[in-house]
Amino acid sequence: MSVTPATSPLLPGRLGSPDMDIRDDPRADPRMIAAMEPLGMDVAPPPTPVTASTPIEELLAYCDEAEVGFDALGGVLTANTPPTTGVSSRTETIIGVDGNEIPLYIHRPDGATGPLPCVVHTHGGGMAILKASNPNYVKWRDDLAATGLVVIGVEFRNAAGALGSHPFPAGLNDCASAARWASDNRNSLGITTVVISGESGGGNLAIATALKARQDGWIGDIAGVYAQCPYVFGDYANPIPALPSLIENNGYFLDVDNMGALAATYTAPGSPDMTNPLAWPMHAQPSNLTGLPPHVISVNELDPLRDEGLTYYRKLLAAGVSAVGRTVNGTCHAGDCLFLDAMPEVWNATIRDINGFVTAL
Q: What one-character-per-residue DSSP string does 175-192 give?
A: HHHHHHHHHHTHHHHTEE
Q: What is the pLDDT of residue 2?
A: 44
Q: What is the pLDDT of residue 48?
A: 87
Q: 192 in the Ramachandran plot: left (φ > 0), alpha (ψ -120 to 50) or beta? A: alpha
Q: H/E element holding 73?
A: helix 56-77
Alpha-carbon distance of 201 to 207, in angstroms, equals 10
Tell me the torsion sign for CA atoms 213, 219, 221, 225: positive
Q: What is the pLDDT of residue 9?
A: 67
CA dihedral 296, 32, 234, 52 (to 10 degrees): -170
How many other C-beta atoms can be found within 10 angstroms of the C-beta atom of residue 70?
16
pLDDT in tens, the chain (361 residues): 444 445 566 899 999 999 999 999 999 999 999 999 999 999 999 988 999 999 999 999 999 999 999 999 998 999 999 999 999 999 999 999 999 999 999 999 999 988 999 999 999 999 999 999 999 999 999 999 999 999 999 999 999 999 999 999 999 999 999 999 999 999 999 999 999 999 999 999 999 999 999 999 999 999 999 999 999 999 998 989 999 999 999 999 999 999 999 999 999 999 999 999 999 999 999 999 999 999 999 999 999 999 999 999 999 999 999 999 999 999 999 999 999 999 999 999 999 999 999 999 9
Q: What is the pLDDT of residue 3?
A: 44
CA dihedral 98, 103, 108, 114 (to 10 degrees): 40
All residues at 6 or more sequence positions from 345 whose CB lies less than 8 Å from its CB, including other chains:
none
CATH of domain 50-360: 3.40.50.1820
pTM: 0.96
